[in-house]
């Protein structure tokens, strides 16, 4: 079974953008950690949930 995760953001104009996508074997902790670290390495900062 595979899991797909997509990260969306809202830019300053109020438009939504896909900023990342990951496909893995499961939704395991390691999969999420690698995905979130990849976003951070590409410059994501100041995240508000």
Span 1-49, pLDDT tens digits:
888 999 999 989 999 999 999 998 887 889 999 999 999 999 988 877 6
Q: Are 22 and 35 in contact (CB under 8 A)?
A: yes
What pLDDT does 49 receive?
66
Q: Are 1 and 8 in contact (CB under 8 A)?
A: no
What pLDDT does 6 receive?
96
What pLDDT does 14 receive?
95
């Amino acid at each position: 079974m595979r899991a797909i995760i997509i990260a969306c953001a809202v830019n300053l104009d109020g438009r939504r953008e896909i900023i990342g996508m990951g496909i893995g074997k499961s939704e395991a902790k390691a999969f999420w950690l690698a995905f979130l670290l990849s976003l951070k390495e590409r410059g994501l900062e100041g995240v508000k949930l």
